[in-house]
Structure 1
């Protein structure tokens, strides 16, 4: 979440961004290991049998989940975060950490690469020099990242709520089990199911369509200054280094999670309680090569710590470019993305920014502050926008 923001139209945001130079900021491993937690007494609402039953359903769910994502699971750790009951309905929230590798022999077998290569085979001879550069860059990025996910162990985190109904004998009723994944703000949960995971065929088609759109937009892309080289994997690594999967509330009674002990306090002593997301993403982008202006985009002015101002500044200064189709599935590691509320007249109220840290075409992970999350599985949102650097990306 950004720090202290009102409802601005796009015009006012631009004006405020221009004025920010003269004002203070608006404050604003190859065997699967299922490690079970024996500590289920933290909330003695549910019996050990019920907890183990819910855990068993979850374990089955995440094993199939890994198969559909084409992961080779190396290790799975499941711990109980909380539990409660309401009448016959029982709920347990579990923290799941998984270590895996993407289960392809080589990057070219992954649907996200296959679709792009199919496009290049069909169309590359008809592309302009600028379009060909853009298409080759996209293929290069995806081949590199997928090869990394195949060759090296990957880690991810997910917090899942499992809900079921007990029968008159206190047994879990078959067919009543439902699963919900924690959303990016902390405390919010969205329903999840296996049918929401795209098929390989769908991913391959999406990859083909994506590079086709890249080629069409290439002529409109703005040229970034040659001094503004963006090393996206440095942004990813920074984001993963300075956050955590904490269960600590940012303040009493608040569902937002935060633990400043993982923050880069040596370089950035100022942090924002319950509202550090833009500050964190700005740090990562600066570390990856986007230069500070010495004026508007510098710690801790509005364009650095506020989602709306950060968005406007980056677009106006040609460092970031809006993706025209809002397709978060295209967002690669090291690119920021935001949640927003649509406003009248087509403007947007941005309220939370995160860093994409992994994308294999089927599954995406993000890292963020407030709520603090590290390599968390992304399960979608209604209104989300990502940014890409139009050139000079490595």
Structure 2
């Protein structure tokens, strides 16, 4: 770079002169600046390329894995008790109080097995995990549909294995394990059901939810 020179004569103001670099020095410094800019831009490009190759993880829902989980951890119970805990997953708490209120806990487990991640709101034993949301505003339905948008409300014909059913007139959810447009099958807890037919149920008394296509 150039230098500053000061010159002052008696009774005169101090004058400051800027003496520029030689043309050779200017050219050399310009080359150095250009090389630095190229290096910075190249490093940025490498980072961008790496980001494109290794994108941030996204939520993906394996509805068939969720279906398989649902069918594995329940059974068809016809006794007055309504459930058989020997078929339930021992790694989770069981809600057999009040005659059995494990339906949302079971559906949450299946959804989690399909790949929907837990967080501070939806996790085992949280309200959003174990409550259907029918009589409160922060249950399973509100979390999955209203808060996160993982699922959306649809019709019976718009669902497939991996979706869930919620009763309108009472607090109960069931997991859809098959639907070919003619026959819908569901599995559930309390009462425990395994690949049970929905044929004898009135569709108007239930709401149907299926996973948003963005997560498939």
> What TM-score comes out, normalization by structure 1 length?
0.37
Runs of 4+ with >4 A deviation: none
**Pairwise CA distance, 1:393:** 4.3
Partner of 2:12: none
Partner of 1:297: 122
Partner of 2:180: 360
1:278 aligns with 2:108: no
Partner of 1:333: 161
CA distance in 2, matches of 1:319, 1:329: 19
- Kept in 2, the 8 Å contact 1:248–1:259? The answer is no
> What TM-score comes out, normalization by structure 2 length?
0.66
- Kept in 2, the 8 Å contact 1:276–1:305? The answer is yes
**CA offset digits 1:313-357 (Å, max 9, x no partner):** 11211222222xxx212210111111113xxxxxxxx61111111
Partner of 2:65: 234
- Kept in 2, the 8 Å contact 1:333–1:359? The answer is yes
CA distance in 2, matches of 1:333, 1:322: 15
CA distance in 1, matches of 2:150, 2:177: 19
1:244 aligns with 2:113: no
CA distance in 2, matches of 1:285, 1:317: 13
Partner of 2:140: 310
**CA offset digits 1:72-95 (Å, max 9, x no partner):** xxxxxxxxxxxxxxxxxxxxxxxx
Partner of 1:387: 209
Question: Where in structure 2 are there 5+ consecutive unaligned residues?
Answer: 1-55, 134-138
How many residue pairs end up in the alignment? 150
Q: Secondary structure at the match of 1:275?
A: coil
Question: Where in structure 1 are there 5+ consecutive unaligned residues?
Answer: 1-224, 251-256, 342-349
RMSD (Å), alpha carbons = 1.6
Q: Secondary structure at the match of 1:351?
A: coil
CA distance in 1, matches of 2:128, 2:80: 26
Which of 149, 152, 162 lines up with 1:321 in the alignment? 152
CA distance in 2, matches of 1:226, 1:390: 17
